[in-house]
Amino acid sequence: MPQRSFPNTKTLGSPPLSLLPGRPRNRNEPQAGDGLMKRPDARTTVSIQGKLLKWFQDHQRDLPWRMHYRPYEVWISEVMLQQTQVRTMLPYYERWMARFPDIRSVAEAPEDTVLKHWEGLGYYNRARNIQRTAGIITREFQGEVPRDYKTLRNLPGIGPYTASAILSLAFNEDRPVVDGNVKRVFSRLFDLSTVLTAPESLRSIEEIARAILPPGRARSFNQALMELGALVCTPRSPRCLHCPIREACVSQVLGLVSQRPVPTPAKALSSIEVAVGVLVSNGRIFIQKRPAGGLMPLLWEFPGGKVKKGETPEAALVRELREELEVQIQILGKIGVIRHSYTSFRVALHAFACRLRDEARLPVLRSATESKWVNREEIADFPFPAANQKLIRMLGAALP
């Protein structure tokens, strides 16, 4: 994408008069809606660098992976923070580190244990990739995270962003790190009038991020940008008066902060209805493991399936358990309806307590990979999808 410099004021203490409302604009000054990222000139770049670094030094949050910047801790924190805010992920991070203090402990743990400690974060393939990569690092790199971009990129689950984050934060290597917070900051700071999801937008942001990165200060500067987006340049109601670089913000000068980033059209979520059975026998509950392929692979669940058009949830449950487990059931009562939204769909989960009509006939697995009869206390040891987790919390006295 072509880039142009925007003019700097002498002090960066106030916007140029020609950009204030009612003033005629010089054609070389920044205009709204031209679709271009305006790379700052050298003087403005130095000012942005200095003010951001000072602000980060004074305002950075006390986060556990910032104590020593160990590569393993940085890696886990960055994977957990993908599509999750810091305050949400912190309890998961602390629980993970208590159970898996080093890479070898992840590599040697049972998969169910790894998934259980990821439970609630979603995107379970990330946890599986962490374990796969931990095994490779343990076997091939003596348990040390490699300090090479190409090597990192060849490890399962480590893409360009995560590799750059590890090298920048853990090793202070001069690499830009562009997460959602940085994209939002740059879209306002440099007045990006195209949607962030456009390939040209990402290319332009990465080019400028690379250009304004102060040599030898990547760890602090990249985190300063991310912290600014998390604490000040927030998605809604940004705290512009508290921004250390507000004088350099083109969107602020043009009055376009509320219009940046340009909104991405929301995708409509599909809705499905599912019927599941909490199958009880002699004080124990039947659970099964999902197949290795497809949605939420290898997590444990209660048996059931989609409600077909024109079918009641009760009829769907009887049919699904007959088809999937080759059993006939008696429904004892409805536990409730659990509603949960995933990335691309919403689910209404109709949950029923039920029992086998013939206790001597054991379930035959037609789609699940494994099954167990467990007592209520043992259920907590198994990783379940989010909607099933909500159901587990509802069980209480709902079962006979």
What pLDDT does 379 receive?
92
Q: How confident is the model at residue 36 (pLDDT cuts 50, 70, 90)?
A: low
Average pLDDT over residues 234-249: 95
Please state, for a pLDDT cut of 90, what percent of the chain lies above it. Answer: 74
On whether the CB atoms of residues 283 and 250 are closer than 8 A, the answer is: no
Q: Is a pLDDT exceeding 90 seen at residue 52?
A: yes
Q: How far is 26 from 15, CA to CA, in rounded Å?
A: 13
Average pLDDT over residues 241-257: 94
Q: Is a pLDDT exceeding 50 seen at residue 346?
A: yes
78 is catalytic: yes
- The architecture (CATH level 2) of 270-398 comes to Alpha-Beta Complex (3.90)
Q: Is a pLDDT exceeding 50 seen at residue 21?
A: no
Q: Is a pLDDT exceeding 50 seen at residue 224?
A: yes
* Domain 8-264 annotated CATH 3.40.710.10: no
By three-state DSSP, how is residue 284 classified? strand
Please state, for a pLDDT cut of 70, what percent of the chain lies above it. Answer: 89
What pLDDT does 265 receive?
82
Q: Is a pLDDT exceeding 90 seen at residue 230?
A: yes
Q: For residues 393, 387, 384 and 267, what is the CA-based torsion angle, rounded to 10 degrees?
A: -150
Q: How far is 288 from 373, CA to CA, in rounded Å?
A: 9
By three-state DSSP, how is residue 325 classified? helix
Contacts 24+ apart (CB under 8 A), 177-180: 177/209, 177/218, 177/222, 177/225, 177/226, 178/202, 178/205, 178/206, 178/209, 179/81, 179/226, 179/229, 180/229
Average pLDDT across the chain, whole number: 89
Q: Is a pLDDT exceeding 80 seen at residue 297?
A: yes
Q: Which of 18-27, 300-309, 348-357 is predicted least confidently?
A: 18-27
Q: Maximum distance among all alpha carbons in the chain?
A: 87
What pLDDT does 399 receive?
60
Average pLDDT over residues 236-244: 95
Average pLDDT over residues 359-368: 90
DSSP-derived letter for residue 258 is G
Of 29, 73, 78, 324, which one is the catalytic site residue? 78
What pLDDT does 398 receive?
56
For the chain, domain boundaries: 8-264, 270-398
What pLDDT does 83 receive?
82
Q: What is the pLDDT of residues 146-189, one digit of tens each?
A: 999 999 999 999 999 999 999 999 999 999 999 999 999 999 99
Q: What is the pLDDT of residues 87-137, one digit of tens each?
A: 999 999 999 999 999 999 999 999 999 999 999 898 899 999 999 999 999
- Interstrand relation of 345-356 and 270-281 (parallel, antiparallel or unpaired): parallel
Q: What is the pLDDT of residues 196-212, one digit of tens each?
A: 988 889 999 999 999 99
